[in-house]
Amino acid sequence: MSHGIIKPRRGVYIVSSGAVAGHEEEAGPIGGCFDAVDTYEDRFGTDTWEKAESEMQRLAVGFALSKAGVDTSDVGAMLAGDLLNQCVGSNYGLTDYRIPYMGLYGACSTASEGIMLGTLLCSSSVDRAVAVTSSHYCSAERQFRFPLEYGGQRPPTAQWTVTGSGAFLLSADKEDIKILDTDYVPSVVEVLPGYVTDKGITDVNNMGAAMAPAAADTLYRYFSLGRDPSEFDLIITGDLGSEGSGILCEMLSEEGVDITERHVDCGCIIYNSDEADKHAGGSGCGCSAVVMAAHILRNIREGILSDVLFVGTGALMSPLVLNQGSSIPGIGHLVRIRGERIVK
Amino acid sequence: MSHGIIKPRRGVYIVSSGAVAGHEEEAGPIGGCFDAVDTYEDRFGTDTWEKAESEMQRLAVGFALSKAGVDTSDVGAMLAGDLLNQCVGSNYGLTDYRIPYMGLYGACSTASEGIMLGTLLCSSSVDRAVAVTSSHYCSAERQFRFPLEYGGQRPPTAQWTVTGSGAFLLSADKEDIKILDTDYVPSVVEVLPGYVTDKGITDVNNMGAAMAPAAADTLYRYFSLGRDPSEFDLIITGDLGSEGSGILCEMLSEEGVDITERHVDCGCIIYNSDEADKHAGGSGCGCSAVVMAAHILRNIREGILSDVLFVGTGALMSPLVLNQGSSIPGIGHLVRIRGERIVK
């Protein structure tokens, strides 16, 4: 069986990360942790929502590289994707960097997919990789549901697409971490890619239910391979929201796995829980990307968290084939991140 | 500089490949080499063009695995993508395989991107990978240009999206090649990922011109790193068509690199050149995928070709942002494939 936990052949570090977000995200609990915020109307100085998304990716990568003092010519691979058709947020935002580019499509799981693939590339023969992704509330609503001008009502299970971008600089070079001024560096020690999982959900306003089975499947397989939830400080999924989180815990509980004490979801901590409009919480590629880049990795760097399971989940939802009667498949990729003390 | 040629840490073989195509492709010069063909109307027993594309991917992967006698549980990663929004051809076609799934978006460069990433994963700690991609004339025209029912006229620079899917089984396990009944096995010895390159092309009926600069950029960088066109039996691009091929050779010639004697393009050899409707040749993710899977790799296995440069090219074209005034960026990924004699 070749579907087991994959360990990188050598240590790979998340040397630095960059996070950029919109003004709604700034108003949330982790609002003070972002590297840049558009406090006005989330256009980031551009004239379309799509260009705003591209600009966020460009900024996030810029922050990640600057913090590590790494030049674009030192990065062997850019792993990028987003929610938009043809991944235009990534393609157009990253052109000027001239870093070898590999496009991904994993819907909201793209942050975890990028970190996972970047880790495996760096542990192979690639010098450093940047994983980056983004989403924008306005571009996503227009493409997947209704243009904002339509003013459609959203049910309580609906999630709110996060306006934000997160970038992660990965490297297996120990020299890269010596310049950091933190005590710990996050290190990716294990990954477990997910299967496409389709449980027949067809409601575009209930992405949590479409993704939860995929997250449950990946976590169940992981814990069946000799791991236990108690080993971790945190099991963080992104982005099931409150609806999907409940389904995930219930599905795992039915299999005898209890993660409730350690589980949080990126979609549930990015907005204040009393904000009515956000309904079941945040979603979108940018959600787990900014929560991980700005908040969780920071806690690992500061020694507050030392062993974290991150399961990025994606709903591979397509308006076209939904209209043809298909359901929404989900996927969940697992990345185990440990804080490693930096020896200088 | 970390943007150099990447060599896998250990030998990685393209153990087997599968190719499925439509009836127009069967009528072309390599029509006799496919593993399966829909000789009627390219629906592959389904009721939508999108499902037909999914079914082609499922079939192509099935052929690749069967030929190698490899079970789905022996394959550690599936690298898949296609031209359709949210890559529905791949997501829906490959669900039943339950192989760890990583979605890609590289437009028509996806075959080369998948082979490249699969090679690096197998040379790291992943047990076998399948790279697979597809395109379908009817689903692509509807999404990117006009529905077929509209009956739009196509200019001479337009290419014809290939209906087909190609799958490649990669492995670093020498045991996997011992069962093969050929003299040679294709081995991926070098890769060079491309940059996103945007030269301002905005004509959706001239993808060749949008992609040629990216192919030229990658090939020029490759030959600047101590390689010479004369080392190769064949330099094959996919899918520039006749228009883009001319631009590529001219651009390289201006830089003092002459590939004309060894260059062919997948888009120029999949259809008979006297077929008026095909204009500048074939294109789409499926074009280079089926030409490589069914034709080029076969020639390597038989010892007819022994050292091939494959540059998969993609036009990262999005109708939405084109309508907003953006141009079409291109990308080209290089894979060097050598025939290695099988010692049993």
Pick from A128, A193, A316: CB nearest B102: A193
For residue range A126-139, list pLDDT tens digits in order. 999 999 999 999 99
**CB < 8 Å to B316, chain A:** 86-88, 91, 103
Q: Nearest CA to CA, how far is B4 from chain A (Å)?
A: 8
**DSSP labels, A160-201:** EE--EEEEEEEE--THHHHT--SSEEEEEEEEEPPPPB----
- Cβ-defined contact of A87 to B105 (cutoff 8 Å): yes
B322 and chain A in contact, CB less than 8 A: no
C-alpha span between B207 and B284 (Å, rounded): 10
| 8 Å CB contact of A101 and B331 | yes
Nearest chain B CA: its distance from A291 CA (Å): 22
Query: Which helix or strand (DSSP H or E) is residue B341 part of?
Result: strand B330-341
Average pLDDT, chain B: 96
Q: Inter-chain contact A104–B105, Cβ cutoff 8 Å?
A: yes
Q: In the predicted model, is pLDDT for residue B341 greater than 90?
A: yes
Partner-chain residue, chosen from A76, A194, A195, that has the shortest CB–CB distance to B2: A76
Q: Please give the pLDDT value at position B344.
A: 77
B2·A74 Cβ contact <8 A = yes
Of A343 and B63, the structure prediction assigns the larger pLDDT to B63
Distance from CA of A245 to the nearest CA of B (A): 22
Q: Are the Cβ atoms of A193 and B92 closer than 8 angstroms?
A: no
- CB contact (8 A) between residue A124 and residue B9: yes
Per-residue model confidence as pLDDT tens digits over B226-246 = 999 999 999 999 999 999 999
Do A86 and B85 make contact, defined as CB atoms within 8 angstroms?
yes
Q: Above 80 in pLDDT, residue B276?
A: no
**Residue B325: pLDDT above 90?**
yes
A chain contacts of residue B68, beta-carbon cutoff 8 Å: none
Q: Do A318 and A172 meet the contact criterion of CB atoms below 8 Å apart? A: no
Q: Does B153 touch chain A (CB under 8 A)?
A: no
Q: Is the pTM of this model over 0.90?
A: yes
Residue B230: both structure tokens together = 């004369």
> To 10 degrees, the CA torsion angle through B171, B176, B180, B185?
40
Asked if B195 and A85 come within 8 Å (Cβ–Cβ), the reply is no
> What single letter denotes the amino acid at residue B333?
H
- A178: closest CA of chain B, how far (Å): 19
User: Nearest-CA neighbor of B211 among B221, B222, B196?
Assistant: B196
A23 touches chain B (CB under 8 A): no
Q: Cβ–Cβ of B105/A126 closer than 8 Å?
A: no
- Interface check A74 vs B, CB under 8 A: yes
For residue B71, pLDDT over 90 is answered with yes
> What φ, ψ does residue A198 adopt, rounded to 5°?
-125, 110
What is the Cα–Cα distance from A129 to A133, expressed in whole angstroms? 13
Task: Give me the DSSP letters along B109-140.
Answer: GHHHHHHHHHHHHHHTT-S-EEEEEEE-HHHH
Give the whole-angstrom CA distance, residue A218 versus residue A193. 8
In the prediction, which pLDDT does A312 show?
Answer: 98
Q: Do A91 and B48 touch (CB under 8 A)?
A: no
Chain A hits for B94, CB-CB cut-off 8 Å, are: 196
Q: Looking at residue B243, what is its pLDDT?
A: 94
Of B99, B125, B196, the CB nearest to A91: B196
- The Cα–Cα gap between A109 and A122 comes to 20
Q: What is the pLDDT of residue B115?
A: 98
Among residues 218-277 of chain B, which lie with CB inside 8 Å of chain A? none
Say whether residue A125 is in contact with chain B using an 8 A CB cutoff: yes
Show the domains of chain B with their CATH numbers. Answer: 12-176 (3.40.47.40), 187-337 (3.40.47.40)
Residue spans of chain A under pLDDT 50: none
Contact residues, chain B, for A331 at CB < 8 Å: 101, 103
List pLDDT tens digits, range B190-228: 999 999 999 999 998 889 999 999 999 999 999 999 999
Token couple for B209: 């011109």
Contact present, A22 and A38 (Cβ < 8 Å): yes
B117:A125 CB<8 A? no
Q: Does B120 touch chain A (CB under 8 A)?
A: yes
State the Cα–Cα distance between residues B250 and B269, nearest whole angstrom: 20
Give me the percent of chain B exceeding a pLDDT of 90. 90
Instruction: Give residue A2's pLDDT.
Output: 86
ipTM: 0.97
The minimum CA-CA distance between A53 and chain B, rounded to whole Å, is: 12
Contacts of A98 in chain B (CB under 8 A): 195
Nearest-CA distance B127 → chain A (Å): 6
| Amino acid, res. B52 | A
Mean predicted confidence (pLDDT) in B242-268: 97
- A94 in reach of chain B (CB within 8 A): yes
Q: Do the Cβ atoms of A86 and B107 come within 8 Å?
A: yes
A:158-217 residues touching chain B, CB 8 A cutoff: 192-198
Predicted confidence at residue A245, as pLDDT, reads: 97
